């Protein structure tokens, strides 16, 4: 009977306990999370399978990049940041507040609507045009309702983000850029 067969027939592995102290015999026999390799680049026998952490991070970044490119990411993010900035400046100390706006409730509702529109632009890109137009209108509305649009910064973030979301298109690159890419590839 081989050593592997003896280990399998020994029963289920023991329940994990507290981590052993470094340098102790128990720490030396603990399995590692990533495969150990020899100097020839081969995995050691009995080493657990799985990608190293760099490969996992690379996959996550590639997945996020694909998700980000399939929607008006920067437009939605700017609209969300604009709404958040206006909400935070509305809570500023009284000495900094220029005015409270038409009504106290509208000063909270319009920037909250702007933040929600930023999330909708990010997570529902099919209706981006409608959300972008509402975001631009809500950003302009914050001029009257919320400290001059969050001291103008939040209003500008909402306007630029709404404009970016409105102009975003999903699909192939424009023809001019495709020619450059082909020229480099054939190069």
Residue 61 lies in a domain: no
Number of domains forming the structure of the chain: 1
Residue 103 lies in a domain: yes
* Tokens encoding 5: 């067969």
The pLDDT, as a whole number, for residue 121 is 97
Residue 1 lies in a domain: no
Range of the domain at 127: 72-167
First to last CA, the chain: 61
The pLDDT, as a whole number, for residue 148 is 82
Q: pLDDT for 22-52, tens place per residue? A: 555 555 554 444 444 555 555 555 555 555 5
pTM above 0.85, yes or no: no
The pLDDT, as a whole number, for residue 49 is 57
Residue 124 lies in a domain: yes
Alpha helices in the chain (DSSP H): 3-9, 25-29, 53-69, 73-90, 104-123, 128-145, 147-151, 153-167, 175-186
Residue 178 lies in a domain: no
Residue 126 lies in a domain: yes
Residue 81 lies in a domain: yes
Q: pLDDT for 107-157, tens place per residue? A: 888 999 999 999 999 999 999 999 999 999 999 998 888 878 888 999 999
Residue 60 lies in a domain: no
Which is more confidently placed, 108 or 173? 108
């Amino acid at each position: 009977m081989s050593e592997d067969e003896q280990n399998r027939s020994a029963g289920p592995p023991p329940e994990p306990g507290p981590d052993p102290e470094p340098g102790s015999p128990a720490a030396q026999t603990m399995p590692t999370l990533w495969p150990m390799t020899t100097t020839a680049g081969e995995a050691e026998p009995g080493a657990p399978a799985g990608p190293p952490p760099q490969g996992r991070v690379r996959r996550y970044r590639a997945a996020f990049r694909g998700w980000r490119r399939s929607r008006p990411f920067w437009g939605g993010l700017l609209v969300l940041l604009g709404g958040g900035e206006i909400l935070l400046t509305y809570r500023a100390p009284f000495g900094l507040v220029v005015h409270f706006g038409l009504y106290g409730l509208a000063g909270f509702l319009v920037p909250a609507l702007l933040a929600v529109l930023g999330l909708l632009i990010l997570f529902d890109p099919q209706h981006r045009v409608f959300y972008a137009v509402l975001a631009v209108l809500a950003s302009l509305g914050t001029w009257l309702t919320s400290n001059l649009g969050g001291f103008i910064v939040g209003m500008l973030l909402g306007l630029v983000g709404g404009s970016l979301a409105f102009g975003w298109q999903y699909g192939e690159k424009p023809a001019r850029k495709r020619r450059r890419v082909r020229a480099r590839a054939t190069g």
